Amino acid sequence: MQSWGADSRFDLRQTLEYPTKSGIFGMLLASSGDSGPQEQLLGRMADAPFTVVTFDDSGDKLVDYHMVGNGYDEKEAWSTLHIPRKNDGSKAVGGGAKRTYREYLQERVFAVFVGLDDDLAEKFAASLRQPIFDLYLGRKCCVPSAPVFQGLCDSEGEALKALKGFLAAEAERRGGDSRKPRRPKWIISEAPDGNAPESRLLNDVPLRFGDNRLYRDRWVVRKEFPADPVAE
Where exactly are the structural domains of the chain?
A: 12-60+106-224, 66-99
What confidence tens digit (pLDDT) does each residue in 116-175 have?
Answer: 999 999 999 999 999 999 999 999 999 998 899 999 999 999 999 999 888 888 888 877
**Residue 232 confidence (pLDDT) above 60:** no
Q: What is the spatial distance between Cα 61 and Cα 220, in angstroms, rounded to a whole number?
A: 22
| pLDDT value at residue 206 | 96
- Does the domain made of 12-60+106-224 have the CATH classification 3.30.70.2660? yes
Could you tell me the pTM of the whole model?
0.85
Report the alpha-carbon distance of residue 172 to residue 160 in Å, rounded: 18
Please determine, for residue 231, whether its predicted confidence score (pLDDT) is greater than 60: no
Which tens digit of pLDDT belongs to each residue from 6-35? 776 667 888 999 999 999 999 999 999 999
CB distance 219 to 36 below 8 Å: no
Q: Which residue has the higher pLDDT, 67 or 36?
A: 36
* Structure letter (DSSP) for residue 176: T
Amino acid (1-letter code) at residue 194:
G
